Amino acid sequence: MSAAHQVEHVTCLGCGCGCDDINVTVMDDRIVDAIPACPVGRAWFGDGSVPWEVLQGGKRATLEHALTEAASILTKPRGSLLVYLGPDLTSQAQRAAVALTDFLGAAVDSATSDAAAEGLLAAQRRGRATATLGEIRNRGDVLLFWGVDPNRRYPRYLSRYALEPAGTQIPNGRAGRFVIAVNIGADKGPAEADLTITLEPSEEIAALSLMRAAVLDHPARDQSPNLVSAIGLIGRLTSARYAVLVHDAEPTELPRNPLRVEGLIALAQALNGPTRAALSSLRGGGNRPGAESVLTWQTGYPFAVDHSRGYPRYMPGDRGLDRLVRGAFTAALVVGSPALAGEAAAALGGIETVAIGPGASRAPFTTRVAIDTGTAGIHEGGTAYRMDEVPLSLRPPLTGQRSTVQTLEALMDAVRTKRPGRSA
Amino acid sequence: MTVRLRIVGGTVHDPANGIDGEVRDICIEDGHIVASVPDGAPTIDARGMVVMAGGVDIHSHLASSSCNHARRLLPEEHSAEPVTAPALVDGDYLPRSGTGGTVPTTFTSGYRYAGLGYTTVFDAAVAPAMARHSHAELEDTPCVDGGFFALMGNDEYLLRQIAAGERERARDYAAWLLGSTGAYAIKIVNPGGIEAWKSGQRNLNGLDEVLTTHGVSPRAILETLADAANQLRLPHPVHIHCNNLGQPGNVAVTLASMQALAGRRAHFTHVQFHSYGGPGWSSGAAPIIEYVNTHPELSIDVGQVMFGPATTITADGPVEYLLHKSSGRKWVNIDIELESGCGIVPLLYKDKAAVTALQWAIGLELFLLSRDPWRVVLSTDHPNGGSFLSYPALIQLLMDRSVRDEKLKQANPKLLAGSALADGLTREYTLNEIAIITRAGPARLLGLRQKGHLGPGADADVTVYARNADIAQMFSTPRYVIKGGSLVVEEGQLRRAPAGRRLHVRPGYDDALLPDLKRYFDAYSTVAFENYPVQGVPDDPLPLSP
């Protein structure tokens, strides 16, 4: 047994908070402690053990043979190909995967949820007013939580960014902030709120619209008591020095009105007339915003891109996994954790699928080739983006046996040997 | 293997070496210009053509988180202009597809810059916290050597040092920041005004209006950072976007800013946007350029507005809010903790719009009334005044008065009365002057000793243009472009896409800074001090000035 050692300032990708203050204790190549990680973070790190296998047709193979077979599958003529980016990839791996997508003329989609996609599309129509998390910490004096309690899925959001810490303009921390919870049916705000109001789901969009109207000095008349209380929040918000609206950009168990995010974007923008305001969108773990960032700088679009015509096309209304389930693809490359279930997993099992990522050899669908690699931030260094799109440095506490980036680059070499020219 | 090339018989414009249109050969060996190569070296027949060093863009927005937010905002532009991958000759380079519009994807930006004969580009505004994003984008921007300027002057730590009178510590901090982020120069955007926007003061409108949060004035910020850049012997002096961008009457604050730095080396950027008379709209170009003409320590780039689509991307948050309110176009604002901001509004510059016509005229006046081309650089503040793809059209406006006059006739004359351009400026730039304002001048102002000229030892970045009576056509389709000795454009076609070099500096500083800085990070930053510096920046910083 070897002595334990510590790796300091590790960045946790358990949720989108991207806490980079984690002190990880490693013993015998296993993570034995992660402090001060929250429960979500501890679950993310686990003990860091992942399989390190290479499978071809379900049987062990050499990496060279597996890559050659994968290249054959991905370069078949007249095939149509999906590349899927799992959530736990470094941006370096995402770049290598999108390069393959481009070269192979494939469709590419990512772990960007449909709910998050609604927000991206709304922001493409309107723009947005937002801020990095440190601005919330340093300036946010009125915080409004719209149907979300960050304690549930983003446990350190309040303690690190939004509520408790002192900031440059909030020297007294919690005492210097006024917190409003808006409960939307069963979507409840935080219990720590100074003021809580409740809206029925059927009232939500009207409330957002009337609140924005109030900011723009258009008073509303004859509204229900709930809506009157929502409109009444505007006085609090406009008298803030820096108002922050917080919502969950990821899906929950409860159905959600897709107009919510557009209403919040519009309200946050309007609040910048009388005061300053930002909308903070809570995002899930891994490096989801990184995939959106990489896809944007390489293709011009943040998700749902198709290269089958030799150039990037945006297909936000007909995403890769939807097309997969419809039988639109003959082969797939799944990069990152193969955490797909249900119809998508069934569809992947029915076509020729190559999986490269942490746990690829144990994918819940049949693979032709599976190559295990490490997880971003646990075995792999590089960059990941926080929920506010700040790029963070990753300090992996463990050493992986095979990196995702190097495996994808080797696959690219094998692909270019099979098909020297581009498909376009 | 030694790679050699001889460019034979071209008419060379190499103003840095005093060569103005002489027929001579240019020889290349292993990525550099040399005096001669042995007989039998491969040749390019450039007889009858014009040979210049590769273009150097001193001020662009092409590789930053702000650019990427703008890209994401503009799917409609991308859908309208898909770009297939180029047909490259060598297997060494993976050709990449992309999309165009005013903010193209990274690979497309690199290909298009090279396609114009530009081989060095700087992104002029990167929030230090976002530096690792810019490095990644630059890695994905082939064919050009590139770097970026780090945004300072609205950063909490710096403002605190200025407020405390700790100017030496401010200088050490600037040095640490440049080295930690792999940046090339200090950039100030709206000194103090972004912090004012974030803190509720909204903006600072004069050089001595103080930030209520810090008690610091734009004047103090300009002086501190100009002195820091000069004392640190940075190859490029402080790069300044003045207060009150785009506001009528802002010529006063622009002149005051120039006067505030009297005797100090400084570069004022996109000065067109800062040369408006007031209180109504009128041209303030004449007093600005006259001041620049008589102060050799100052330089400017113009930030020309070109008629057509543009996207405004700036750290100057308050101006973007005003633009959003006045234009009604969609708007992005991102406040960046402890450092800066980001605002984005897409725009269309129409020649029939009176203010746009005035902006267009002011930019041209700055060019045409300048007496020293070495200190007046061609830029459109891409993509703020227009795309870099409009540089050839801008060169044509400068070189061909008939084209310029024709455009002027089509422009809205309402606000042009009394402007020098409307009164008739006959000047036409020569090819040598174009070579100065597009490569030799910016390379010198950036302190890039191996760029912008064709003397022995220079980087082998060379552009060969086929002569054409249509100047815009000539400059938009170079026949050959050589980047670091590699033949990037051949017979007008992009054929190779080598990775560019990262241009960055690493000035020294007093380590006594670090404990204080760490305490500050621990108190206010959401990124650990230990995780803040960018890893993986090549260990090859450019030398500081002598």
What DSSP assignment string belongs to B277-301? ETTTTEE-HHHHHHHHHT-TTEEEE
The distance from CA A304 to its chain's CA centroid, rounded to whole angstroms, is 14
Residue A254 has a pLDDT of 86
Residues in A touching B324 (Cβ below 8 Å): 127
Residue A78 has a pLDDT of 78
Residues in A touching B65 (Cβ below 8 Å): 293, 389, 391
B341 within 8 A of B198, measured Cβ to Cβ: yes
Q: State how far residue B140 is from chain A, nearest Cα, in angstroms.
A: 8
Q: State how far residue B502 is from chain A, nearest Cα, in angstroms.
A: 18
Cβ of B84 within 8 Å of Cβ of A293? The answer is no
Interacting residues of A366 by C-beta distance below 8 A, sequence separation 6+: A58, A348, A349, A353
Whether residue B446 has pLDDT greater than 50: yes
Nearest to A50 by CA among A391, A410, A370: A370
Residue A222 has a pLDDT of 80
- Minimum Cα–Cα distance from A129: chain B residue: B333
Q: Does B99 touch chain A (CB under 8 A)?
A: yes
Residues in B touching A395 (Cβ below 8 Å): 531
Cβ of A127 within 8 Å of Cβ of B85? The answer is no
Residue B49 has a pLDDT of 98
Q: State how far residue A42 is from chain B, nearest Cα, in angstroms.
A: 20
Q: State how far residue A365 is from chain B, nearest Cα, in angstroms.
A: 32
Nearest to B58 by CA among B283, B237, B243, B206: B237
Q: State how far residue B20 is from chain A, nearest Cα, in angstroms.
A: 40
- Residue of B129, B199, B530 lying closest to A9 (CB–CB): B530
3-class DSSP assignment, residue B531: helix
Rounded Cα gap, residues B378 and B370, in angstroms: 12
Q: What is the largest CA-CA distance in chain B?
A: 70
Q: Where are the alpha helices (DSSP H) in B385-440?
A: 391-399, 401-410, 420-424, 431-435
Cβ of B333 within 8 Å of Cβ of A128? The answer is yes
Q: What is the pLDDT of residues A16-75, one digit of tens each?
A: 999 999 999 999 999 999 999 999 999 999 999 999 999 999 999 999 999 999 999 999
Q: Does B520 touch chain A (CB under 8 A)?
A: no
Residue B91 has a pLDDT of 79
Cβ of A298 within 8 Å of Cβ of B106? The answer is yes
- Residue of B130, B331, B524 lying closest to A269 (CB–CB): B331
Q: Where are the alpha helices (DSSP H) in A34-107?
A: 39-45, 63-74, 91-104
Query: Over chain A (424 residues), what is each successive 10-residue block's mean pLDDT?
Result: 90 98 97 98 98 98 98 91 97 98 96 96 98 98 98 97 96 98 96 97 97 94 92 98 98 92 98 98 97 98 97 96 97 96 96 98 98 98 98 97 98 92 54
Cβ of B73 within 8 Å of Cβ of A124? The answer is yes
- Minimum Cα–Cα distance from A314: chain B residue: B79
B403 within 8 A of B346, measured Cβ to Cβ: no
- Residue of A129, A169, A297 lying closest to B137 (CB–CB): A297
Amino acid at the residue B389: L
Q: State how far residue A363 is from chain B, nearest Cα, in angstroms.
A: 31
Residue B276 has a pLDDT of 98
Rounded Cα gap, residues A319 and A316, in angstroms: 6
Cβ of A422 within 8 Å of Cβ of B73? The answer is no
B4-28: average pLDDT: 98
- Residue of B67, B132, B332 lying closest to A128 (CB–CB): B332
Based on DSSP, count helices (H) and strands (E) in chain A, helices before strands: 13, 20
Helix (H) or strand (E) holding B317: helix B317-327
**Per DSSP, what are the bridge partners of residue B297?**
none
Cβ of B199 within 8 Å of Cβ of A169? The answer is yes
Cβ of B73 within 8 Å of Cβ of A123? The answer is yes
Residue A422 has a pLDDT of 63
Q: What is the pLDDT of residues B151-166, one digit of tens each?
A: 999 999 999 999 999 9
Cβ of B344 within 8 Å of Cβ of A420? The answer is no
HSE toward the beta carbon, residue B213, CA cutoff 13 A = 27
Q: State how far residue B129 is from chain A, nearest Cα, in angstroms.
A: 7
Average pLDDT value for chain B:
97
Residues in B touching A91 (Cβ below 8 Å): 136
Strand extents, DSSP E, A225-379: 242-248, 276-282, 305-306, 313-314, 331-335, 352-357, 369-372
Cβ of A9 within 8 Å of Cβ of B528? The answer is yes
ipTM over 0.90: yes
3-class DSSP assignment, residue A155: coil
| DSSP secondary structure of B99-143 | E-SSS--HHHHHHHHHHTTEEEEEEEEE-GGGHHHHHHHHHT-TT
Residue B105: both structure tokens together:
């994807």
Cβ of B99 within 8 Å of Cβ of A420? The answer is no
Q: What is the pLDDT of residues B462-513, one digit of tens each?
A: 999 999 999 999 999 999 999 999 999 999 999 999 999 999 999 999 999 9
Cβ of A128 within 8 Å of Cβ of B321? The answer is no
3-class DSSP assignment, residue A404: helix
Cβ of B526 within 8 Å of Cβ of A132? The answer is yes
A181 within 8 A of A167, measured Cβ to Cβ: no
Cβ of B523 within 8 Å of Cβ of A166? The answer is yes
Residues in A touching B331 (Cβ below 8 Å): 126-127, 129, 269
Q: State how far residue B318 is from chain A, nearest Cα, in angstroms.
A: 10
Whether residue B410 has pLDDT greater than 60: yes
Q: Does B330 touch chain A (CB under 8 A)?
A: yes
B38-43: average pLDDT: 96
Residue A219 has a pLDDT of 86
Q: State how far residue B272 is from chain A, nearest Cα, in angstroms.
A: 27
Residue B92 has a pLDDT of 82
Residue A421 has a pLDDT of 67
Residues in B touching A102 (Cβ below 8 Å): 85, 96-97
Strand extents, DSSP E, A165-310: 178-184, 195-199, 242-248, 276-282, 305-306
Rg for chain A, CA atoms, rounded: 23
Cβ of A128 within 8 Å of Cβ of B96? The answer is no
Cβ of B528 within 8 Å of Cβ of A20? The answer is yes
Q: Does B72 touch chain A (CB under 8 A)?
A: yes
**Between the CA atoms of B31, B35, B38 and B42, what dihedral angle is there, to the nearest 10 degrees?**
50
B441-456: average pLDDT: 98
Whether residue B538 has pLDDT greater than 70: yes
Preferred mutation among A13, A215, A297, A417 to probe B, highest tally of B CBs within 10 A: A297
- Residue of A296, A381, A420 lying closest to B71 (CB–CB): A296
Rounded Cα gap, residues B450 and B96, in angstroms: 29
Residue A423 has a pLDDT of 45
Q: What is the largest CA-CA distance in chain A?
A: 73
Residue A1 has a pLDDT of 60
Q: Does B526 touch chain A (CB under 8 A)?
A: yes
- Minimum Cα–Cα distance from A125: chain B residue: B330
Residue B418 has a pLDDT of 81
Pairing of strands A331-335, A352-357: parallel
Helix (H) or strand (E) holding B344: strand B340-349
Rounded Cα gap, residues B296 and B222, in angstroms: 18
SS3 content of chain A, % helix, strand, coil (to 5): 35, 25, 40
